Structure 1
Amino acid sequence: MLTTGCVTYKSDIYSFGVVLFEILCGREAYEAKRYLAPLAKYHYENKTLQDIIHPDLWNQILSPESHMRYSKTAYSCLNAVPSDRPYIDDIVLELEKALELQLRHEDIVRLFLFTSYAHYIFHCF
């Protein structure tokens, strides 16, 4: 859209990538006189995304695997070459996998916490 002035399926994919990064980072697409898309691309490429993710959100990210899959998907939507951007079906599959990884990780954490608590109770009483 920026280069051609036309809205296309692939420009919608780019916009969706921006929305994904807004969710991940807890930032608006344009904030403090900076656009999020180039900022997110820069930090993704330099493996420093945590620098632009709101600290409260960063502390909630439990699964590194889920975070990696999600951010890779968002990044792929921002490809400068429209034809190299993924199709929405592929994006949905990747986001579903990221969610599955996150839920699995949360289950493991809950199980660990429950087991630790049960162990504590058993030994204290």
Structure 2
Amino acid sequence: MDDVHLTTPIGTKGYMDPEIVKTGGVTHKSDIYSFGVVLLEILCGRKAYIPNEDDGSFLVSVAKFEYEKDNVENLIPPSLFDQMGMESARTFTSAAILCVKDDRVQRPDMKYIVHQLEKALELQLPYESLNSSGNVPYLC
């Protein structure tokens, strides 16, 4: 795809590809970055940017920090984590983290992300069977 060059970077705080500021342009990988932010919001149950928050106003920074420490469970609210299989949670988180890599070249294409999300769903299905049998209660 062709780059679009901007004179002034525009976008929503917390969703904007950091490479836009460096290059002055956007690509389809900029959309991948924003999609990754949305995946993290869903997983973590919080907004991409929270002004004046002491322990991490940008969700991407917090998520990368916890992911690098292998603390996926610290990202996910307990009420959601209790309903998830660990491998499903790790696969979903990994897909989201790949989307928000700082370097555009390191971000996967959407086909790969969809494949990873389908894999996360497949890993979750056996856990869903446990939920429906009453062993682990749904909280929603």
TM-score by length of 1: 0.79
Question: Structure 1 stretches of 5 or more lacking a match?
Answer: 115-125
Identity of aligned residues (%): 45
Rg bigger for which structure? 1
Question: Structure 2 stretches of 5 or more lacking a match?
Answer: 1-19, 136-140
Cα deviation per residue 1:35-82 (whole Å; 9 max; x = unaligned)?
101110011001123223223222222x11111111111111111110
- The aligned counterpart of 1:23 is 42
- Please, which of 97, 118, 123 is the counterpart of residue 75 of structure 1? 97
Is 2:60 aligned against 1:60? no
Task: Tell me how far apart the structure 2 counterparts of residues 102 and 52 of structure 1 sit (CA, whole Å).
Answer: 18
For the 8 Å contact 1:27–1:54, the answer to whether it is kept is no
Task: Tell me how far apart the structure 2 counterparts of residues 26 and 70 of structure 1 sit (CA, whole Å).
Answer: 14
- Please, which of 80, 102, 124 is the counterpart of residue 124 of structure 2? 102
* Partner AA of 2:60 in structure 1: A
Number of matched pairs: 112
Task: Tell me how far apart the structure 1 counterparts of residues 64 and 44 of structure 2 sit (CA, whole Å).
Answer: 12
- Please, which of 53, 56, 62 is the counterpart of residue 39 of structure 1? 62
Give the aligned CA root-mean-square deviation in angstroms: 1.9
- Please, which of 22, 25, 36 is the counterpart of residue 6 of structure 1? 25
For the 8 Å contact 2:83–2:131, the answer to whether it is kept is no
Task: Tell me how far apart the structure 2 counterparts of residues 112 and 48 of structure 1 sit (CA, whole Å).
Answer: 29
SS of 2:25's partner is: coil
